[in-house]
Structure 1
Amino acid sequence: MCYKWAGRTAAHCLASGLDDYPRGLMINDDECHLDLHSWMSLFAGTMASLCRQLTSWHSSDGQTAALCDAPGWAQRAATLNATLHEVFVGSSKGSGVPLADFMGDQPVAKGGRVMVVPPWRTDGRCGPQFPTERGPGDCDPYGGSPCCSPSGWCGGSPDFCNCQGCRRCLKLEERQGLLKTKPYHSPHLGYVSLFPLGLGLLPCDHPRARQLLEALKPGSADGTGGGKLWSRHGVMSLSSQDPLFRQGEDYWRGKVWANLNYLTISALSRCASHPDPAVKELAGQAHASLREGFVSTVLQALKKQRFFFENFDPDTGQGTGVGPFTGWTTLVALVMADLPLALDDQQLPADGREGQAAEL
């Protein structure tokens, strides 16, 4: 059992809210998206929690029984949480990505690895005047602008697709001499990877949680060293070692966002209270560093740039994107007040163990 976001293209997964966060270059019917699966597990657990409360108040209410007993929310939550360790582990194993999207068939690059860098430009330009290392620049064949005009612009209207000299760029599966394809899990470490930990579905002492804690490990004051997702300004949306880091639109490919920082800092706060000394130390160090860095970044941008911003540059801390943005960026107030996301405890199976999961 798994879920996938609707309407995904090779360039965007808008329904997820993580617009240009890298998924697979090829789109498949059997894809499974880790962030959506995590949300569904959380929602099922939340319904189970609400039902327990309702049942305690109205134990003889037939309507309550119909809403709570028949759907079996607790069992659904348990099944979804167990599925995390069945569907989302595979070719990602050993890659440093503990849990990852299942992307279905993807093109194999040289050396047998999955191809992650698209063979087309991502800036809307194309043709011989805007070449790539492979030749004349291509347009994204899976998006809304698959055609290259003689003037070197990508578009999707007849002016771009049906004019003299216009060229429709081929999808990967339509190209001659395409490299072999193979089912893959995503090799990308980033915000999607953190959802099971951030939503309380992965116990802090689980081996896969340990990999995430290592990725958040703080570096030095000058910003060097540290884990792959750590920066002086907060948790980055994509690993600094990813080939797509800060590439293309660079929206969810390295920028620091308040909503996922709040979820992650909340998770680190919980893990910093874990009885295992190793987990407690690692999580505590990451929590202190990322909390201080994120709060300082938001406040410095507010002081210097006069606004709360949509996201922040992981290198400079400068506010970027929309401003003023007093939506989720004001979650900084909860971080400053040391008010992490509160989760109710529930025992759910995790990878063959009895592990602690959580629900709202």
Structure 2
Amino acid sequence: MLWRYWSPLLLFSYIATLILAEQVKFDIYGDSNNFPPIGDTNNNNSATTLASKYGTIANNSLLWGPYRSALYFGIRPRIPKSLLSGLMWFPITDYKSMGKIRHFYEQFDRMGRANWISYDPRIGGRQLIQDDDLQFDIIIDFIKSQEGLSWAVKVKAVPHRGNEDGMISFVWYTGLEGEKNEVDEITGQRERSGYFRLDNSAKDGGYQGKLTFGGISEELGAFSLEINDGPSSNKHPRGKAGAGRELDPTLTHHLSLTVPDGNVWQARDIFVTILQESIGQISEANNGKVDHLPPENLFIIRDLYHFEGNLHFVQKIYQGACEFDIIYTNVFTPDADKLTFNNIDHRIEESLQKLDNDFASHFQIQPPFNSKPYYEFAKEMLSGLLGGITYMYGDHLVDRETIFDEETFESYQLKGSFEGPYELFTLVPSRPFFPRGFYWDEGFHLLPLLDYDSDLVLDVVKSWFNLIDDDGWIAREQILGTEARSRVPKEFQVQSPHIVNPPTLTLVLSKLLDFAASGKGDIDSFGNIDEPVDLNEGDVPLGKFILNNPEVLVNYTNDVYPKLKSHFEMFQRTQQGFIPNDEEEEGTGVSDAIKNSRVYRWRGSTLTHCLASGIDDYPRASPPDISDLNVDLISWVGVMARSLRLMAEILHKDEAEVANLKQIEQDIIDNIQSVHWSSNDEAYCDVTLNEDDELVHVCHKGYVSLLPFITKLIPVDDVTKLANVINLITNPNELWSDYGIRSLSKSDEFYKTKENYWRSPIWIHINYLILQNIKDYYQDSSSYLSNELKKKFSDAYHDLRVNLINNVYNQWQKTGFVWEQYDDETGEAKGAKNFLGWTSTILLILTMPERI
């Protein structure tokens, strides 16, 4: 049993935890299955507050998840050093099979499909992986107990036609982190704060039936993990007779060892190394040969040293269709809510039905796409987006020494030092290609979730803002820890505080706070803010709670406001644009138009790229100059000013502070119109210094030109500029295509040149903002627009929406995935696959009205 391995002190702690757990559940919750207070570190007085009660319940509901999204399937809690699990599989076809082991989700694995098709982080869901190389479909169901502290997994393999007798091996691993500073005098290894061990009696060779593990940790308390062998319909290959129990493919095999914290993620490499060692010993004992054993015997891990540590592997080999289950149970989960091998199928069906109902109640697909195929497509977009939620913890590399200016633009090499550790709860752009946090992407990731789960959105926003350092800076890429760095080329690992990124999270905050400040809204979207929910009345409506409860909203805003203000001030300080001396530059045109100091330029630009802007190779003034003024940057700063002003109003900040923010917002609007509008080009443009030391416009029409429009910083009565913008959007020789709005004008000299990343392709998130603001300006500017201009807005809206949906859907049907970008001439998918970051904004486009 579990306790035979433990010290008396740890055993006492374990028993005390069990007794305490039962007493706590009875004293606080009686016989009900309400939510336990795991993770609530507040004192008794603060625990009675609405915000504290909500926080405990909400945190527990999101404690566990497939938050290792870089893997096909990996589970962990939102705790820095804790229990990590993952799934691997490989075919048993020949002696080269091990080269096809699946673990990390890779861009170039030959998959027909690999995505969550129904998923919510508070409930669980289903992932479908069509492995065309291995000729199996892998179906993974993940569900959680009501209070969120326990979970279960069902792994099912369905062979493709013609491969009905195919053999497949699954490897489940779980490792417990938690090293202390103290070193054991006998073993020389660091002592650990908890244990995780096999409860089954030790066997020579393999095991039959269920494996049971027991564990305890400071963060999780006591818990168990059980793995069965699935139903009797499962078949195992027989292998070679007489090979012995430890190489018997009909048995379950287990191996354990001790690995340092931060190394559990290397389970695949560890497994392969152990297997190679086993094969090496077999070969050595048979004169260098192994072909006397078929692959189903040979590719089995052997417990060569009978050692038990903090990392455990469980291997199973099946033939044909098969399934097995894993059950994790926390001691605090009420008995009535526990997941078991007997109820797992029923609970999976219940969860999938709830997910269907929740999706249908939040997303009404509008004509002409309101049919079942588009509904399933839309549900997969939401599920895949949510399935990309990741919890990251670790240090990252930062270069605080290199200064970027007009003298160093040609080339620079960042040399980083480690800082941290930090933690982040985030969505990722693409699980196979970009499984990490991107600041400029994150706002777009959250837009489809505003109505669905605004509490989750605010949780993610707060996690990002907690990363703001003393100077107000957030790294544009969050590459936290060794696992994250293993997926990033070295030249992109180091971050610089001189390089920022578009603050798109403030775009999200603006939308949410606009609603909160108004005190009204769509009852189906956010509920009635005037009727806060009483936590004592029953189930908590997680997902819409913060905005419906002013007390909790104010508490949240109070927490976030100083961080966002510091971030805003950093933008003002580090990205300040050059303003010519009035006496020296009098009469130079553009310089005369600068009405105030609110002008900005992206630091860190090179001859070929402006990584800070997020639209890397989009053409700019070349070479970069200290005098450059960027229209997209001033627009993003305007969005930040708007968000801060809304927060200041909610918090009833000093009138002078609110007035100052209003003035900054208005100054930015004024400069956008006076400095960045080019009458000659009839577009918004960047600005630079020419050979005569005059500020002039640099116009490359495309997404940069549209930033004031898509951030809603053009005055609603400025009909001339609105007309020019819609003409630019709808002109086929400029931005319009049959598949969406292209990133750079077809008439631009740099169209489709060099890298061609942002020099023609269609990006769905920008197209969503274009579409949304065509609709908004049509409505808000209605009294100023002529009938002819109204029709142009209306037709553009209708046709653009149809073009976007048709192409993304068709490419999804053709390839099994949504993609990073789409070709403007053919509509073909390009870039990273399963790009469910900002391409998931197609879900919002599906729910927008057919016509305006």
Normalised to the residue count of structure 2, the TM-score between the two structures is 0.28
Matched, 1:20 2:610: no
**Against the structure 1 CA distance between its residues 19 and 339, is the aligned structure 2 distance closer, same or farther, given a 3 Å change threshold?**
farther
Give, in angstroms, the shift of residue 21 of structure 1: 0.3
Instruction: Map Cα deviations across residues 56-91 of structure 1 (whole Å, 9 max, x no partner).
Output: xxxxxxxx328x7277111110011111122213xx
Q: Percent identity?
A: 28
1:99 and 1:208 in contact (8 A); partners too:
no
CA distance in 1 between partners of 2:662 and 2:643 (Å) = 9
1:254 and 1:69 map into 2 onto residues whose CA distance is: 43
> 1:39 is aligned with what amino acid?
W
> Which whole-Å deviations, capped at 9, do the CAs of 1:82-129 have from their partners, x for residues lacking one?
11122213xx43124x210002236xxxxxxxxxxxxxxxxxxxxxxx
Provide the rounded CA distance (Å) in 1 between the counterparts of 2:778 and 2:738.
19
- The structure 2 residue matched to 1:72, chosen from 660, 672, 686, is 660
- Paired residues for 1:1-360 under 5 Å: 1-55=598-652, 64-65=653-654, 69=657, 72-89=660-677, 92-96=678-682, 98-105=683-690, 183-206=695-718, 207-217=720-730, 226=732, 228-273=734-779, 274-275=782-783, 276=785, 277-338=787-848
Query: Cα offset for 1:339?
Result: 7.9
Q: Distance in 1 between matches of 2:599 and 2:822?
A: 32
After superposition, give the CA deviation of every residue in 1:306-355 in whole Å (9 maximum; x if it has no partner): 11100000011011011121100000000110189xxxxxxxxxxxxxxx
Q: Are the counterparts in 1 of residues 639 and 711 from structure 2 also a CA contact under 8 Å? A: yes
**Is the 2:684–2:699 contact (alpha carbons within 8 Å) kept by the matching residues of 1?**
no
In 2, Cα distance between equivalents of 1:195 and 1:230: 16
Is this contact kept in 1: 2:820–2:839, CA < 8 A?
yes
The answer to whether the 8 Å contact 1:45/1:77 transfers is: yes
Choose between structure 1 and 2 for higher RCO, CA contacts under 8 A separated by at least 6 residues: 1
**Deviation for aligned residue 1:204:** 4.8
> Which letter does structure 1 place at the counterpart of 2:690?
D
| C-alpha spacing 1:271/1:278, structure 2 compared with 1 (3 Å) | farther
CA displacement 1:190-211 (0-9 Å, x = unmatched):
0001010111101355212211
Name the aligned partner's letter for residue 702 of structure 2.
Answer: G
> What one-letter code is carried by the residue in structure 2 that aligns with 1:48?
R
Give unpaired runs (5+ residues) of structure 2: 1-597
Question: Compared with structure 1, are the counterparts of its residues 249 and 214 closer, same or farther at alpha carbon in structure 2 (3 Å cutoff)?
Answer: same
Deviation at 1:261, TM superposition (A): 0.5
AA of the residue aligned to 2:646: S
Deviation at 1:53, TM superposition (A): 2.2
CA distance in 1, matches of 2:729, 2:796: 6
C-alpha spacing 1:70/1:211, structure 2 compared with 1 (3 Å): closer
Taking the aligned partners of 2:694 and 2:608, their CA distance within structure 1 comes to 20
Contact 1:313 1:319 in 2 (8 A): yes
CA distance in 1, matches of 2:659, 2:671: 18
| 1:188–1:242 Cα contact (<8 Å) kept | yes
- Structure with the larger strand share: 2
Q: What is the letter of the counterpart of residue 10 of structure 1?
A: L
CA distance in 2 between partners of 1:322 and 1:278 (Å): 41
The residue identity in structure 1 corresponding to 2:599 is: C
What's the secondary structure of 2:688's corresponding residue?
Answer: strand
Query: Per the alignment, in what secondary structure is the counterpart of residue 625 of structure 2?
Result: coil
Q: CA deviation at 1:40?
A: 0.5
Q: TM-score, normalised by structure 1?
A: 0.65
Report deviation, 1:216: 1.8
Count of residue pairs the alignment pairs up: 248
Structure 1: runs of 5 or more not aligned: 56-63, 107-179, 219-225, 341-360
CA distance in 2, matches of 1:24, 1:228: 20
Mapped to 1, the partners of 2:706 and 2:836 lie a distance apart of 24
Pair 1:18–1:93, CA change in 2 (3 A): same
Q: Structure 2: which amino acid aligns with 1:312?
A: Y
Deviation, 1:181, is 7.6
In structure 2, give the amino acid aligned to 1:65: D
Deviations 1:112-158 (A, max 9, x none): xxxxxxxxxxxxxxxxxxxxxxxxxxxxxxxxxxxxxxxxxxxxxxx
Contact 2:621/2:628 (CA < 8 Å) preserved in 1? no
